[in-house]
Amino acid sequence: MSRLLPPLLFLLLSAPMALAQNKALNAPPKSGQCTACHGRDGQSVSPVNPILRCQHQAYLVSALNAYRNGNRKHPIMNAMANSLQPKDIQALAVWYANQPGCKP
């Protein structure tokens, strides 16, 4: 039993760090352009930038598509959304809608 204790302790203590690293690795490639205004996990700290974290996935897809096709006007967001492909929009929506603590 005493020989098993150190490896078990290592696994238990390293699990939170591994989960945090895995979460960062799973961020969509295009999420980097969102972080300056909306925060890495979509939890904006500025009242002028909307919180993306835990928004409904369908809403995020709709909003990004509206910025992309010009139906929703905001110069910065229009430019950002124009650099996104449909697969990028879907990946971003899934990412922000499913941050830890979001209710389904």
Structural domain total, the chain: 1
The answer as to whether 21 is a domain residue is no
CB atoms under 10 Å from CB of 66, counted, come to: 16
So what's the pLDDT on residue 14?
Answer: 43
So what's the pLDDT on residue 26?
Answer: 86
So what's the pLDDT on residue 78?
Answer: 97
**Regions of the chain with pLDDT less than 70:** 1-25
Range of the domain at 68: 29-97
The answer as to whether 8 is a domain residue is no
So what's the pLDDT on residue 1?
Answer: 52
Q: What is the CATH number of the domain that holds 59?
A: 1.10.760.10
